[in-house]
C-alpha cells in the first residue's frame, strides 16, 4: 500500500481497537491506546496508536489531535524508560510502504535499546511469548 489511499477498517490495529483481536495493553485514554508489539525488535517494544481517527499515517492525523497524541507517546516512553532502564530509546514512525510501514493505522514505535543488544528486524521477527509481554506491560504500567 502506498503513502496515499483509503483507510482500510480491516487493518489489524483497527481490529485491536474494536476488541476483535487481543492485545497486551500498556496504556489507554479517550484518544490513545498503547500496547506491546507482538514481533518486538527489542525487549519492551511498545506501540502507541490514536483512537477515534481514520489516519493511515502521521500526515493524515487531524492536526488538532496531534498534540494530545504526542503527549501520550512521551508519557509511555517515559514509563518505558523508568520501567526498563534502557541505554537509549528509538521513537519512530513510518509513512507508506516505501518507508517501511506495514500496518496502515498510524502508530509510533517506542523501542528501548541497550548498547550490548542487537536490534531485531522490523516487522519480521519472532512472535513474542504472551506471558513475557504481559509481565513487561505490567512493569511499564507501574511507572505510568
Ligand atoms: P510498521 O511496519 O507499520 O511501522 O509497524 C507495524 C508493527 O506492528 C510491527 O512492528 C509489527 O511487529 C507489529 N504488529 C503486526 N501485527 C501485530 C499484531 O497483531 N499485534 C501487535 N501487537 N503488533 C503487531
**Coil, strand or helix: which one is 27?**
strand
pLDDT in tens, 16-46: 999 999 999 999 999 999 999 999 999 999 9
Q: Does an H or E element contain 50, and which?
A: strand 46-50
Catalytic status, residue 107: yes
pLDDT at residue 76 in the model: 98
Question: Residues of 23-53 as b/e, b for ≥16 C-beta within 10 angstroms?
Answer: bbebbeeeebbbbbbbebbbbbbbbbbbeeb
pTM: 0.97
Best residue for ligand 1 mutational test, from 7, 8, 57, 102 (most atoms within 8 Å of Cβ) = 102
**Mind listing the pLDDT tens digit for each residue in 80-135?**
999 999 999 999 999 999 999 999 999 999 999 999 999 998 877 789 999 999 99
pLDDT at 126: 85
Mutate to test the pocket of ligand 1, among 33, 94, 103 (most ligand atoms within 8 A of CB): 103
Q: Kindly report the backbone phi and psi dihedral angles of residue 142, in degrees, each rounded to the nearest multiple of 5, phi listed first.
A: -65, -15
pLDDT of residue 1: 57
Q: What would be the CATH architecture of the domain defined by 12-141?
A: 2-Layer Sandwich (3.30)
List the chain domain ranges: 12-141
Give the pLDDT confidence score for residue 67 in this predicted structure. Answer: 98
Amino acid at each position: 500500500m502506498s503513502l496515499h489511499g483509503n483507510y482500510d477498517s480491516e487493518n489489524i490495529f483497527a481490529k485491536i481497537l474494536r476488541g476483535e483481536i487481543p492485545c497486551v495493553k500498556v496504556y489507554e485514554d479517550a484518544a490513545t491506546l498503547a500496547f506491546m508489539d507482538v514481533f518486538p525488535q527489542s525487549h519492551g517494544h511498545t506501540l502507541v496508536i490514536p483512537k477515534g481517527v481514520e489516519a493511515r499515517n502521521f500526515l493524515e492525523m487531524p492536526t488538532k489531535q496531534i498534540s494530545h497524541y504526542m503527549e501520550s507517546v512521551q508519557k509511555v516512553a517515559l514509563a518505558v524508560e523508568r520501567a526498563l532502564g534502557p541505554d537509549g530509546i528509538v521513537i519512530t514512525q513510518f509513512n507508506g510502504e516505501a518507508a517501511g510501514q506495514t500496518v496502515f493505522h498510524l502508530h509510533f514505535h517506542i523501542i528501548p535499546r541497550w548498547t550490548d543488544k542487537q536490534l531485531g528486524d522490523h516487522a519480521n521477527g519472532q512472535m513474542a511469548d504472551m506471558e513475557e509481554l504481559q509481565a513487561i506491560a505490567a512493569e511499564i504500567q507501574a511507572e505510568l
